[in-house]
């Protein structure tokens, strides 16, 4: 399975994370996640997106980092780390 293939809709992602759909949308609005959008503008997420969202949730819940702090931390990560490197 390609971990970057968009296979989950926003409802499934929210359920897997135990959060509200609106929370996933907030993370998108804040630029923490960029879902694939279908021709009908439906948000779709990959396994990679799911893991990224789990990481975000962990930073918030376990470490008490707010969204601005998460943005700052993620700004230090090279772009190729988000996409899985040049070989992907």
Pinpoint the alpha helices (H) of 8-66: 10-17, 21-29, 47-61
Structural domain for 72, as ranges: 8-83
CA proximity to 51, closest of 19, 85, 4: 4
In a domain, 2, yes or no: no
CATH number at residue 47: 1.10.1660.10
In a domain, 25, yes or no: yes
Indicate whether 19 pLDDT > 60: yes
Contact status, residue 53 vs residue 27, Cβ threshold 8 Å? yes
State the residue for tokens 């759909």: 21
In a domain, 1, yes or no: no
Indicate whether 32 pLDDT > 50: yes
Tell me the pLDDT band of 87, cut-offs 50, 70 and 90.
very low
- How many folded domains does the chain comprise? 1
Q: How far is CA 57 from CA 3, 21, 27, 29, in A?
A: 19, 14, 10, 16
pLDDT digits (tens, 9 = 90+) for 38-58: 999 999 999 999 999 999 999
Q: Which pLDDT value is given to residue 79?
A: 64
């Amino acid at each position: 399975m390609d971990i970057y293939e968009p296979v989950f809709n926003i409802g499934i992602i929210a359920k897997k994370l135990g959060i509200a759909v609106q929370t996933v949308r907030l993370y998108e609005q804040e630029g923490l996640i960029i879902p694939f959008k279908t021709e009908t503008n439906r948000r779709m997420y990959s396994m990679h997106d799911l893991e990224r969202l789990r990481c975000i949730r962990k930073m918030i819940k376990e470490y008490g980092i707010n969204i601005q702090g998460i943005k700052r931390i993620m700004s230090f990560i090279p772009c190729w780390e988000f996409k899985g490197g040049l070989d992907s």
